[in-house]
Amino acid sequence: MSGFPILDLVAGIIFIFFLLSIICSSIVEMVLTATKVRSQILGQWLLHIFDTKITDAKNEQFPLGQMIMDHCAVTVLSDKKKPPAYIDSKNFVSAVIDKISAYSSVINPKSIEEIIKSIESTTAISGELKRTFMIYANEVRDTLDLVTVKTTGAIEMFRHKLENWFDSNMDRLTGTLKTSYTRRFTLIAALILTVLLNADTIAISKYLYNNPEARLRVAAKAYETSADDSIRSDMEKIKQKAMANDPVMKLTINQLSDSLKAKLDVINKANAALRESIPLGWSLSEFAGNKKWYEWAGLWFGKLVGMVITVLAVMMGAPFWFDVLNKVSNIRGNGKKPEESKKTN
C-alpha cells in the first residue's frame, strides 16, 4: 500500500464511487434500451421534420417521415410503422432522395440539374425543406463546372451534404437524449441505488477509517483497477463517445441484446466487488439503542448528507472517478520511489 492511511482511504472511497457509477450507468443504459427511448426520439424527429402527407401506392396518406421509416433502405429488421433504433446517414439520404423523386417530375435523377428539378417539383417535402435542399444542390452546381463531374461527382457531393445535415441533427438528438432522459434517469437510478444499498459516504468513510484491514483491502482493489488496461480502454471509449457526441441510434438488434447481457454482467461484478469490500445494506443494529430525539435527528441528518454526497458523486460518472483514481494511484506510486532508492544505497 501507499503507507499513508488517508491516501488509502481516499482511494477506497473513490473506488466505491467508481463501482456505484458503473452500476448506475449500466442500469440507465438498460432502461433506455428497454423503453426504446432512442427510437422514439428518432421517430418524433422524422415525423416533425418530414410532416408532409403523401399518398402511397394503396391510395393511403401517410407523413413522409413514416414512409422514410418504412423504406427498405432504412427499416432493416424493425416492424412497419415503428421507428428503427438507428439509421445510417447514407441509407437515410437514399430513402429521402427516392421519396422526393418518386413524387416529382423527375423520377430517377441522374445529374445535379435533374436533382434540382426533382426538388423543385416534388410534393413530398415542405417548402422549408425544399429551400434547405435547394441551397445544398445549388452550392454543388456552382462549385463544379465540368459536365462529366456534374453527372457523377456532383451527385455524390450533394448526397454528402445531406448526410452531414442528417448527422448534425442526430448530434442535436443526442443532446436531447442526454438532457431529457439520460440525466433524469441517472439521478433516479442513483437515488434508488444509494437508498437500496444504504450507500452513505460518511458511514463508509468512518468504517474504512476505523477498520485498517478493510481499508487496505479496498485500496488494493482500487490500485489494481487503476492499472487494468481493459478497464482503462472501456473508460476511454465512453469518454470518446461523449466528446464526439455519438449518434443517438447506433445499435442493431443483436448489438442491443449483447449490450444488455454485458450490462448485467458489469452490474453483477461491480456489486460483488462492493459487497466483498464493505458492508452495504440496511442493518437494524445501526438504529438500535435508546436515543434521544436530537441523537435520532443527528443520525438521520448525517445519513441524509452522506447519501446526498453519494448521489452527487455517482452523477459524475465512472470515467471521471477512474481518472481521479489514476491520479491518486500516481501519487501513491510517486511516494514509493524514495523508499526504493534508500534500499539500493
* Average pLDDT per block of 10 residues along the chain, 345 residues long: 74 89 84 82 90 80 87 70 80 91 87 89 90 90 61 79 91 82 90 90 89 85 82 75 50 45 58 64 74 82 93 91 88 54 44
Tell me, yes or no, whether 202 and 267 share the same domain: yes
Q: Do 313 and 195 fall into the same domain? A: yes
- Dihedral of alpha carbons 269, 273, 275, 276, sign: positive
Q: Which of 168, 193, 208 is the last residue of a domain?
A: 168
Same domain, yes or no: 24 and 53:
no
Out of 134, 168, 202, pick the residue that ends a domain. 168
Residues 295 and 203 in one domain: yes
The pLDDT value recorded for residue 269 is: 63
Which domain range does residue 202 map to? 5-36+179-284+291-336
pLDDT for 242: 60
The answer to whether 104 and 116 have CB atoms below 8 angstroms apart is no
- Max Cα separation, the chain? 92
Co-location of 200 and 241 in the same domain: yes
Whether 9 and 136 map to the same domain: the answer is no
The Cα–Cα gap between 64 and 124 comes to 7
Q: Does residue 270 belong to any structural domain of this protein?
A: yes
Residue 65 lies in a domain: yes
Residues 50 and 32 occupy one common structural domain: no
Q: What length does the chain have?
A: 345
**CA-to-CA distance for 217 and 223, rounded, in angstroms?**
10
pLDDT of residue 304: 94
Is 156 in the same domain as 230?
no
Residue 251's pLDDT is: 43
Residue 5's alpha-carbon distances to 167, 280, 295, 339, in angstroms, are 50, 22, 29, 17
* Domain edge (last residue) among 114, 138, 168: 168
- Considering just the CA atoms, what is the radius of gyration of the chain in Å? 28
Report yes or no on 345 lying in a domain.
no
Distance (Å, whole) CA 287 – CA 282: 10
pTM given for the model = 0.69
Q: Is residue 341 one of the residues assigned to a domain?
A: no
Overall domain count for the chain: 2
| Whether residue 84 is found in the same domain as residue 122 | yes
